[in-house]
Structure 1
Amino acid sequence: MRKSVVNIKFYSLIALCSVLFLPLFQSSVSADSSWAEETTPEVKFYPKIVNQYEDEEGNFVTEYSELPKQFTTDASGNIINDKSIQPMNACARQYSYKNLYTLRMQTNGFIANHPGFTRWDKVNGYYFGNTSVSYSVGLSGYGASISVSVAGPGNGTFITANPDRWSRPGIYGDVDKIHQQVTMVDPCGPDSTYTRDIYRSSRTYNRTVYQ
């Protein structure tokens, strides 16, 4: 009789431990990738101009440097390299990015209205500065956002417009969709690996858009 009581207590203890520790065990081997993707930092990358030229249609095209196909950032989105100062926090997360494949979505296509010119107007043209400005804009037709570098308002380059029609400058260029693998490394918690699609352009120019 005493042996049966001991067995009941023993199995009850096992069942209780399973209830208490099973969720903890599950979270340690399978992180919530949807949550991890939402908290992925914005990569702090400032492209450099590698080429500028006027194409056959008279558009002033600017080509920019691109991120490598594989790189790592800290939790704030700063790219880590050999010269980077590592954080003192032993639990600081790092994010590793790897491009799995790239698809060209459009060439010389409309990306978005230029955010530096917010109004439609009837004018004979628009002036742009000689330095590039980084913008985050909605990518027309794809329901996604894209970071682009393009000349902002200024007193440098002039593009013409028909003063009899309502117009505003638009951003045009090549757009690539990149299927990317992201690995979040958490020294004090579970790691997480997931994939996502992002859009990038490394070749842009300003062009007049009409209503």
Structure 2
Amino acid sequence: MKKRIAVILIIASALFGQMRCSQSSGSGQSTEKQPEEKQSEAKPSIPIFQLSPAPPPSTPQSDWCRIQGGENVLINAERVNTNRRYFYLPQGITMLSVGYPTLAATLFLKPLSNGNVEVFTGANFPTCLSRPSYLSPAGGSAQMRYNNQQDIEFSLELQVENNYPKITIEQGIKYNYGMSVVHCLECQ
């Protein structure tokens, strides 16, 4: 009697399991995509640096170069390559300065809603920012190189990490620059 019940249970569970498998894979009419399919269809978007098309300020009040102070942004060093420094770009305008006290490369950076970063240069703010000709390529890439032909040379790299733009700066081995990153609270 116990053997019959055990055999019936085994057969019933096998039939039930077979019915479940055929229902889940059977008709193929399911419109819901599997996670793997969703990922393969999603085209990755690589964030890029783009040079700002903004004209120079027309009034002293709109000149971000005249604004003093701001909030310092934390700069980190990579563990493996300490010549690489990085920071997370906050919303709004951030001033990046790399170089020596008497000679520095200065740029304004602004994250855009599409994940790209707008780069402001001397073409936008001629009184305080570096020449756009010192940057290559001139926008449209996730990496830019700064070289003023006077001892300031470094690269910028843009990534997105945890939904925040991450800017990595790599100095050449022979260089040891100071660096400051200041979030401009009053720049509009």
Report if TM-score (shorter chain) is over 0.5.
no
**Higher relative contact order (Cα pairs below 8 Å, separated by 6+ residues):** 2
- TM-score, normalised to structure 2, is 0.28
Q: Which has the larger radius of gyration?
A: 2
Higher helix fraction (1 or 2): 2
